[in-house]
Amino acid sequence: MLRSRAATGATRSRACSAPVTRSGRRPACRSRGSACPTEPSSRTLAPSPGWEGAVDEGLLEIADHIWRGEAAIEEHNPFSSPWKLTEIGDGLATISSLANVHVIDTSDGLVFVDTGIFFFATTIHASVRGWTKRPLRTAVYSHGHVDHVFGTGPFEEEARENGWPAPDVVAHENVPRRFDRYVRTAEYNAWINRRQFGIPQLTWPTEYRYPDTMYRDQHAFECGGERFELHHARGETDDHTWTWVPGRRLICCGDMFIWGTPNCGNPQKVQRYPGDWARALREMTTLGAEILLPGHGFPVMGADRIRTTLTETMNSGASLDDILHAVKPPERLMERPWLRPIYDDPEFIVHNVWRLYGGWYDGNPSRLKPSLDAHVAREVAALAGGAGRLAERARELLDDGDLRLAGHLAEFAALAAQEDGGIHAVRAEVNEARVAAEPSVMAKGIFGWAARESRERTGPAQ
């Protein structure tokens, strides 16, 4: 199903052209507040300080070294933001900008797959303009996460100034619903992302560039004689699009693949869909792609490597046959550089699979209708001889290397004596040790936030 600028039921746009909604008006931005961040003033079109207009010649070489095991993925974090444009092939480039932006230069103008985060909109524009002067015709959102959808503003202003057709933004029909939800839950999203990324000042956007063209299952369009085929698949999100460009043997897979453990278990975010995800990866393996451009991280070049990458990512999902602590991914998969737990964690994926297929009840009847955590903590502290004794035992367990059990006891102690600075010092120490022991951004972020909370409350014991 295709909505907006195409007739109901159509599945293909014949050429890139100015988008028109059913009302005949293009919805550039819906927001709460005054200005739309995706349509900046002309003064914001200058590149950010430090940008040198560089074309990164080394990205493919780094990717090859990581693939061969000659370099560690941890040394070349796929979630870093070098802002450099790499030319992958004739008329094909990628920009690493926290989330990647992929640019296809056709004879009729540019097609983007993803547009980047708001922090880097002007640097992305400058990177593209250092490579080509063609106008942006179509931008495809792989999904509605904020690191993928905020880069069109400078290109839209440029189109207005030059009298070019406005770019058409294409996405799955669930993307507007996501944006609406983000506006309604802005404060909640701000808090969980502050905790995940350790940025206390982070604010959550309430203004978004909504798509002009939306589809349900599949959609295709042409630009400059090149065909772009869009496929919906639930995976990290329910609004995900992966794009197949048959003339280039190119797949832009969005966050279906990110050079890390699949983001299928985020403990603070909404439901992920591992079964649908695996089916989408399986479908991609049948296409014979020669280039795979992911939402984060490095290009994968060559049909054999792409097949291996997608197949092993698919097979790394967890089973529900065993309980949480019995499920371990095969070691040979965790040794793969594209499956390391640098962002998500396999243990979190098990939680997510349980939530999707088994509901939220975890089998412990005491947690079906529980008491307040603080009440439980006070009872446990009383039985142990006081909150201080719990904290002492937490430190002993920490010294013995049992960080998980130390975490439980430190949390009980802090909940039972919430104003005791000495106990909070122990809680901070335990969680700092957990940060050091964890490889994934998600776990580090949550433990780090807990440690920061307690460090702010340390002081003389009460």
Q: Cα torsion at 139, 143, 146, 152 (round to 10°)?
A: 0
Place of tokens 């050091």: 436
Closest by Cα among 251, 206, 249, 13 to 241:
251
Task: Provide the pLDDT for residue 8.
Answer: 32
Fold of 371-455: 1.25.40
Contact indicator for 110, 156 with CB cutoff of 8 Å: no
In the chain, list all ranges with CATH 1.25.40.880.
371-455
In this structure, the chain runs to a length of: 462
Specify the pLDDT at position 358: 59
User: What does the pLDDT read at residue 190?
Assistant: 87
- According to DSSP, residue 141 is labeled -
Q: Which amino acid is at 184?
A: R
Query: Rounded distance, CA 269 to CA 192, Å?
Result: 8
pLDDT tens digits along 57-94: 577 787 777 777 777 766 666 656 556 888 998 999 99
**Which pLDDT belongs to residue 442?**
77
Q: DSSP label at 350? A: H
Looking at domain 2-314, its CATH architecture is: 4-Layer Sandwich (3.60)
pLDDT of residue 191: 84
Residue 407, token pair as written in the block? 């975490």
- In the chain, which segments carry CATH 3.60.15.30? 2-314
Helix (H, G, I), strand (E, B) or coil at 285: helix
Angstrom distance (rounded) from CA 160 to CA 138 = 15
Helices in 246-302 by DSSP H: which ranges?
A: 274-285
Question: Given this model, what pLDDT does residue 26 score?
Answer: 37
Which residues of the chain fall short of a pLDDT of 50?
Answer: 5-56, 314, 316-326, 460-462
pLDDT for 55 equals 44
**Amino acid 271: pLDDT:** 57
Alpha-carbon radius of gyration of the chain: 24
CB 182 within 8 A of CB 190: no
What residues does 226 pair with on adjacent strands? 223
Contact 101, 151 (CB under 8 A): yes
CB of 160 within 8 A of CB of 128? no
- In this prediction, residue 261 carries a pLDDT of 57
Phi, psi of 32 (to 5 degrees): -105, 130
Between the alpha carbon of residue 144 and those of residues 46, 58, 60, 106, 370, the distances in Å are 26, 30, 27, 25, 35
DSSP letters along 210-244, please? --SEEESSEEEEEETTEEEEEEE--SSSSS-EEEE
Q: What's the confidence (pLDDT) of residue 267?
A: 57
- What integer pLDDT is reported at residue 344 of this predicted model? 59
pLDDT at 363: 67
